[in-house]
Amino acid sequence: MSNISKAFENGKAFIPFITCGDPSLEVTEEIVYAMEEAGADLIELGIPFSDPTAEGPVIQEANIRALSGGVTTEKVFDLVRKLRKKVTIPMVFMTYANVVFSYGSEKFISICKEIGIDGLILPDIPFEEKEEFEGICKKYGLDLISLIAPTSHERISMIAKEANGFVYCVSSLGVTGTRTEITTDIGAMIKLVKDVKDIPCAVGFGISTPEQAKHMAEKADGVIVGSAIIKICAKYGRDCIPYVKEYVKSMKDAIR
């Protein structure tokens, strides 16, 4: 059992995403403490990438803000070293394949292990390409998180069988970003996973309100929220911490 399973021991899991360094690494550090206090069960730390092809405009802009502020992979590692002195919940990196590959996959993943990162989410690595990183992740005890999408259909069993940590269920077509309505039959997707493996399933893409979170949590083991939090960071800048904290609390309360 990996550390990630702890995130799903406290009822339904609330999994917030933030882009490291938006608006600054100092603020990111404070946001993570605040989110843990507010009840977050697992935190997705985004390492910014210049060309995030799976992201909608909100997270794209957060990536640009972070990179123009001088954030680098090394600086994100330093941030996690600081965070791990206090934060006890699992943390995973969300970034793009090139950030890991270009750093040197083994070097990157071994540092993740050393600083206390529990898993990797790479949206541009489908099942067919996972061997690029999976062997190394296993060697260092990290979970490479598998994603399933509304278009996955018969691929779900194949993916779920080899999934580790949790399965990231992409709720909708398209890129990340808040949506007023989610029409995919999430329950059916999750059933296909559970039919082949007893592994937690968390739903992401498009969720922003406590009502949506509650609705998704009825079907899933956890709810992932990114763009809605990034919007708060963008709106309040360095003063965003209490607002993010309040939001995370409202979301966790909604799915408890």
Instruction: Tell which one of 33, 103, 140, 236 touches other proteins (CB under 8 A).
Output: 103
Residue 227 lies near other proteins (rule: CB under 8 A): no
**# of chain residues touching other proteins (CB under 8 A):** 42
* Neighbour tally for 151: CB within 10 Å: 9
Q: How far is the CB of 196 from other proteins (least distance, A)?
A: 16
Q: Which residues pair with 19 in a beta bridge?
A: 46
Report which DSSP code applies to 128. Answer: G
Residues 21-80 that bind other proteins (CB under 8 A): 49-51, 53-54, 56-57, 60, 64, 67, 72-74
Nearest residue (CB) to other proteins, 43 versus 175: 175
Does the footprint of other proteins cover residue 181 (CB under 8 A)? no
Distance between CA atoms of residues 168 and 229, nearest Å:
18
Q: Which of 121, 149, 199, 225 binds other proteins (CB under 8 A)?
A: 149
Residue 78 has a CB neighbour count (10 Å cut-off) of: 13
The structure tokens listed for 102 are 């270009």
CB of 20 to other proteins, least distance (A): 13
Please state the closest distance from residue 10 (CB atom) to other proteins, in A.
28
- Residue 191 binds other proteins (CB under 8 A): no
Whether 30 and 79 have beta carbons less than 8 Å apart is answered as no
Question: Taking CA 201 as the corner, what is the angle to CA 183 and CA 120, rounded to the nearest 5 degrees?
Answer: 110
Query: Does 165 interact with other proteins (rule: CB under 8 A)?
Result: no
Least Cβ distance, residue 243 to other proteins (angstroms): 26
- Residue 60's CB is within 10 A of a number of other CB atoms, namely 22
Alpha carbon of 108 to those of 46, 47, 77: distances in Å?
A: 15, 12, 9
Q: Which residue matches tokens 């083994």? A: 106
Smallest separation, CB 171 to other proteins (Å) = 11
Structure tokens at 205: 């893409």
Q: Which residues form the interface with other proteins (CB under 8 A)?
A: 49-51, 53-54, 56-57, 60, 64, 67, 72-74, 97-103, 123-129, 131-132, 147-153, 155, 159, 170, 173-175
